């Protein structure tokens, strides 16, 4: 298993949790972004910088992800694409995205996009809370323990 991170919008605290987990479990971890991402010196942890542009990092993750890999992302279309490739998905808030729930999440995302494009102010997600961090760490540990 390799862990792929959609790193452009990934919170710093989640990146730190991932780095500690990668070292503890000896799991390869790759941060993919269209900007330079500093990573700790480790043979297990790397950063892949892609060209700037919409969905460049997402496309690179989809290109490289393999069955059984884990992708960390809040991007619902990216999650859907990697689930189709039999990869696992965990959001930075600790939610597992699966074949059972991804279609509903895509529908909600599309509905919210329709509202925003018609001028409705929907706001963004709330800041990452302590319980979100714990949910992420717990979800990550459950996935890594099964490997």
Q: How does pLDDT run across 84-93, given as a tens digit for each residue?
A: 999 999 999 9
Query: What is the per-residue pLDDT for 7?
Result: 96
Strands laid side by side in the 2-6 sheet: 45-49, 28-33, 2-6, 70-72, 88-90, 96-97
β-strand pairing of 96-97 with 88-90: antiparallel
Q: What is the pLDDT along the chain (147 residues), one digit of tens a residue?
A: 999 999 988 999 999 999 999 999 999 999 999 999 999 999 999 999 999 888 999 999 999 999 999 999 999 999 999 999 999 999 999 999 999 988 878 777 777 777 778 887 777 677 899 999 999 999 999 999 997
What domain count does the chain have?
1
Query: What is the per-residue pLDDT for 34?
Result: 94
CATH code, 52: 3.40.50
pTM: 0.88
Query: What is the per-residue pLDDT for 118?
Result: 82
Q: Which sign, positive or negative, has the C-alpha torsion 85, 146, 28, 39?
A: positive
Q: How far apart are CA 73 and CA 58, in angstroms?
A: 9
Residue 141 sits in which domain range?
Answer: 2-145
Instruction: Name the nearest CA neighbour of 102 among 117, 87, 124, 116.
Output: 87
């Amino acid at each position: 298993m390799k862990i792929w991170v959609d790193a452009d919008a990934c919170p710093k605290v989640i990146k730190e949790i991932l780095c500690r987990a990668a070292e503890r479990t000896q799991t390869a971890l790759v941060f993919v972004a269209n900007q330079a991402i500093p990573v700790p010196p480790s043979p297990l942890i790397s950063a892949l910088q892609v060209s700037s542009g919409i969905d460049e990092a997402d496309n690179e993750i989809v290109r490289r992800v393999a069955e059984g890999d884990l992708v960390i992302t809040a991007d619902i279309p990216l999650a859907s694409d990697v689930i189709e490739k039999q990869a696992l998905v965990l959001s930075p808030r600790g939610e597992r995205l699966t074949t059972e729930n991804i279609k509903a999440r895509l529908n909600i995302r599309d509905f919210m996009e329709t509202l925003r494009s018609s001028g409705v102010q929907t706001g963004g997600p709330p800041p990452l809370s302590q319980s979100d961090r714990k949910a992420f760490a717990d979800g990550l540990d459950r996935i890594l323990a099964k490997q």
